Amino acid sequence: MVSSTADYALRAVLLLASRDDAQAITSNEIADATGTPRNYMAKVLNAVAKSGLISSTRGPAGGFSLAIRPSEITLGRIFDLFDSPPHHPRCLLGSGPCDLARPCRAHKAWMSVTGAQRAPLLSTTVADLLDGRVAPSPRKSSTESRHVA
């Protein structure tokens, strides 16, 4: 699940990436265009700027603009600024820790499930969204495809 903050950040980056000119736009303009509260958007943009994905310029002609190409910005990179990737410190089958050094029976399968959920975020870029490209979906196993009606 994506937090509101990560969603606002994605909307802002998409807006900046969709502009034909490289002129900076203000946080208020971005907030208004994305339907985000202005004071909240300013905080989100500052956090994204600190990461290096966008740049900020002060002054009368200041505002925010992309710092890198849209094809280099994955959704995972944006979301990870605000939402940590899922981590389960406790074992699914018990109350103790579970990690690669001490995996339980479910560990490998669970890591595969969480990795599959995250894969589209790591392979889909801002440019992909703007161009309407869909990240390739994981292949279904033969067992899984037999159960689909």
Sequential pLDDT tens for the chain (149 residues): 689 999 999 999 999 999 988 789 999 999 999 999 999 999 999 999 999 999 999 988 889 999 999 999 999 999 999 987 666 666 777 767 776 777 788 888 878 887 787 888 889 999 999 999 876 655 444 444 444 43
Identify whether the C-beta of residue 120 lies closer than 8 Å to the C-beta of residue 136.
Answer: no
pTM of this structure: 0.78
Identify whether the C-beta of residue 27 lies closer than 8 Å to the C-beta of residue 64.
Answer: yes
Identify whether the C-beta of residue 79 lies closer than 8 Å to the C-beta of residue 10.
Answer: yes
